[in-house]
Structure 1
Amino acid sequence: MSNGYIIVDDSDAQLQYSGLWTSGGGSVNYGTSLQLIGDYTPGGSCALSISLDSAPPAEHSTPNVTAPSYHQTIWESSNIPDGNHTLVYSVQSCSSTDPDQEFVWLDYILYEPTSGAGPSGAKYFVDDTSPQASWEGELQTSMQAGDFNQTVHVLEKDSSVRFSFTGTRAIVYGRLNSNTSTTPAQAKVQLDNKSAVSFGISVAQANVQFHDTGTVDDGDHTLVLTTKSDTAIAIDYFIVRVDSSKGPAPATKEGGISTGIIAGAAIAGALVLLAIGVYFFRYRPKQRTAPSKEFTKSAPSLSPRPCEWPVILPFLIHTLIPRFQL
């Protein structure tokens, strides 16, 4: 059974940040494609330099948005051949009247595991558009800025979702359908043939954890979530933990819309076994003789910053403030 793409959060121990991201890095094993996902904030844009292995760097400019944009693909690469690889990601400069403002925020990384070779303990991110989730009853689709893939499925009273997964743990995330609702939503969850568990939802924000199955036996499972109140809830995504060293097979792609993980993605067809080491966020600043007028010499905090807008739990994201000429 397919679980989709593996998610690596920006606060994951696999990623290390030091200095001005001068030599920070982390390794992720296995896979044939990867994506850097983050947010853009208005007020300016940044020039990025991104290269894979020995290929010439590709110049990329982030959009100068007029409103915050969440869960955007900053960079992606597919059809990566078998072998070890190095990704070099650097922020060359940013243009703005405010040199202290950040415009690019890293939230998480996605990579597609090779069939039969996913690492043990990996977390898979499954979007609500995945065929692993089937929906029953009165439901509707809705969209807000903080929703993954800019989609959610809204469950009215007595509606349900049936989610099939392979692994040792599943967590359901979503939000109340209305940010102004004052009445908590009530729902129940049943895993396989176990007794149903009831829970309430009163937090009106994105990325709220609805239910955690806890650790279960490794294998195929079915989770059924049913709403029991007039206050509707919106299901956004699922996170599945796989402890087996044998990763799930790749999902299928239907139509022109990605289905599966985070970006709702899934790649069609079987993939050959391979092992890829991907190293993120390594760049070295060039020597310079004078400071850029755009930037100051003060060193930014290297800790992930708590964020008030919708990001992947634990509500932390990383940004790189380019205060030196690169």
Structure 2
Amino acid sequence: MSVPRWIIVDDADSSIQYSGPWFFDSKGTQDAVGNFGPAYQETLHGTTLNASLSFNFSGSQVSVFGSNNLLNSSGVLDPSWECFIDGISIGAAPPFQFPENNWLFCSQNTLTDGPHVLTVNATVLKKQTFWLDYIEYVPSASVPLDDKAIFIDNLDPQVEAAFGSGWGALGGTANETGQTNSAFTFNFTGISLSWYGFIPTELPHTATTGSYSVDNGTPTSFLLKGLPASSDTIYNQKFFQTPNYTQGQHEIIVLFQGSGQTTPLTLDYMVVQNGTTPVTTTTGAGSAATTSSSPALTSNNSASGKSNTGIIVGAVIGGLVLIALTILAVFFIRRRDKKLRHEEKLPSTFEPQPFMYSPVPITTSVLDGYRSGAVLPSSKQPARGAEGIGYGGHSQMPSFSLTDASHSINPPSTAPASAATISSNSQGGFDPLTSSTSRVFQHEDSGARMKNERVEIILEIPPQYTPR
């Protein structure tokens, strides 16, 4: 994941051009406002009248931060402000009703990489102070960093690699540890480093300490002051700032000296003065290659990463499509072969097999069996084919009553008046084989069903012949 490194420009920086009645606050008069921590470097520029400022930079993203303290007079907020990039308005962030430091006033994250001019117009109606704290921007690759303050987020890949055992994520916005002697080892290029975190109210509040050492020097302790019992979480807390070292590469090791029963050590971001860490990329052979110092990946690296990602995604999608087509082809081929085998099993010509009658007395038990759907006795019971189709005989007959069968053969409206009626309530005293008015024969045909493309329900009825 690529996380940009921002340049922080303090309100006291001479590159910011102020127009109007601005004044400079270096006494930290607003540091205790809200729970977002003190102002950056404990300095602010303020105005109680209409005023503006401008800032020239070269980069692709920019944000403006200040101390928010609005007066709501009958729905009219004072002060108000509007931001512009190259003369085009980018508006302002939504207002917030409570006083807070380190508050976002406006931002633009989709600029064309290159030179731009930021302008902020402040409108003050009732002398409610407008406070500017600092400006952040993602610089172009050509911007020199030897005199800049660089913001490095905890999600920066090099920062994530610096966490030792015992560290974990804290709410997706920071990292924390409550394990004694948990270490953080980080290489940076510059003259000093400041460590910022927050103090979470959800974890233990008891104060404790940590330590840091630079270039294997003597460890320096710093205080983790914890929180009062009923306090809210406090953000943007600077836990320590190293002294200035010679310009160049340095290694810092930070140790947590508390435990799971004390306030944890957290890391939200760091600020490196006069430079930043070298950007490290991975070569094709897996070895690490170090490039020149830069706050973000260069455009060439970014384009290469996007190109490789496109190739990988295209190959994966192509492979999935090929697999899907192969599965569909196999499915249709098997379905076709099965249909052909089914049709080959039907004989092209077949001879009807006449039924050789053997007189069998039909008793009540036989009629009951017929009533339940059993096959009537015959001279042979042929085996079924592999697909459930009988050759030379019927499969099991559907279940229906003798009344249904006789009505299907001889409808009541056309039956002779003297004919004996077979019903489901017939008793054992009725013997159709010896009756003088009717005789019953059980016939069998070939049993083969011709292929019919229409879907229909077949009700098989035994054939009936007239008396000789």
* TM-score over 0.5 for the pair: yes
1:198 is the counterpart of 2:236? no
* Offset, 1:169: 1.3
The SS at the match of 2:163 is strand
Q: Residues 101 and 203 from structure 1, CA distance in 2 versus in 1: closer, same or farther, beyond 3 angstroms?
A: farther
Which of the residues 171, 176, 195 maps onto 1:154? 176
The equivalent of 1:216 in structure 2 is 245
1:183 is the counterpart of 2:206? yes
* Offset, 1:110: 0.8
The equivalent of 1:76 in structure 2 is 108
What amino acid is aligned across from residue 19 of structure 1 in structure 2?
G
- Output the CA distance in 2 between the equivalents of 1:248 and 1:229: 28
CA RMSD of aligned residues (A): 3.9
Cα distance per residue 1:139-183 (max 9 Å; x no partner): 34335xxxxxx8221221222322332112111122444489663
The equivalent of 2:257 in structure 1 is 228
* Offset, 1:127: 1.8
CA contact under 8 A between 2:85 and 2:119: conserved in structure 1? Answer: yes
CA contact under 8 A between 2:58 and 2:113: conserved in structure 1? Answer: no
Cα distance per residue 1:210-235 (max 9 Å; x no partner): 23222223222221211111221222
- Output the CA distance in 1 between the equivalents of 2:91 and 2:58: 26
Q: TM-score, normalised by structure 1?
A: 0.58
Q: Residues 166 and 116 from structure 1, CA distance in 2 versus in 1: closer, same or farther, beyond 3 angstroms?
A: farther
Q: Residues 82 and 214 from structure 1, CA distance in 2 versus in 1: closer, same or farther, beyond 3 angstroms?
A: same
* Offset, 1:101: 5.5
Note the residue ranges of structure 1 that are not aligned, 5 or more in a row.
144-149, 253-265, 272-326
The equivalent of 1:51 in structure 2 is 84
* Offset, 1:117: 3.0
CA contact under 8 A between 1:250 and 1:269: conserved in structure 2? Answer: no
* Offset, 1:122: 0.9
The equivalent of 1:15 in structure 2 is 16
CA contact under 8 A between 2:90 and 2:107: conserved in structure 1? Answer: no
Which of the residues 105, 118, 125 maps onto 2:151? 125
Note the residue ranges of structure 2 that are not aligned, 5 or more in a row.
23-49, 228-233, 282-294, 301-468
Give runs of aligned pairs for residues 280-319 of structure 1, distance below 5 A: none
The equivalent of 1:86 in structure 2 is 117
Percent identity reads 22
The equivalent of 2:376 in structure 1 is none
Which of the residues 91, 94, 105 maps onto 1:63? 94
* Offset, 1:238: 0.9
Which of the residues 154, 169, 174 maps onto 1:141? 169
What amino acid is aligned across from residue 196 of structure 2 in structure 1?
Y
Cα distance per residue 1:48-68 (max 9 Å; x no partner): 543333x5x336254244666
**Larger RCO: Structure 1 or Structure 2 (Cα < 8 Å, ≥ 6 residues apart)?**
1
- Output the CA distance in 2 between the equivalents of 1:226 and 1:174: 15
The SS at the match of 2:139 is coil
Q: Residues 91 and 4 from structure 1, CA distance in 2 versus in 1: closer, same or farther, beyond 3 angstroms?
A: same
The equivalent of 2:273 in structure 1 is 241
Task: Name the structure with the higher strand share.
Answer: 1
1:33 is the counterpart of 2:61? yes
CA contact under 8 A between 1:249 and 1:270: conserved in structure 2? Answer: no
Cα distance per residue 1:223-278 (max 9 Å; x no partner): 121111122122222110126xxx877799xxxxxxxxxxxxx754337xxxxxxx
Q: TM-score, normalised by structure 2?
A: 0.43
The equivalent of 2:439 in structure 1 is none
The equivalent of 1:110 in structure 2 is 136
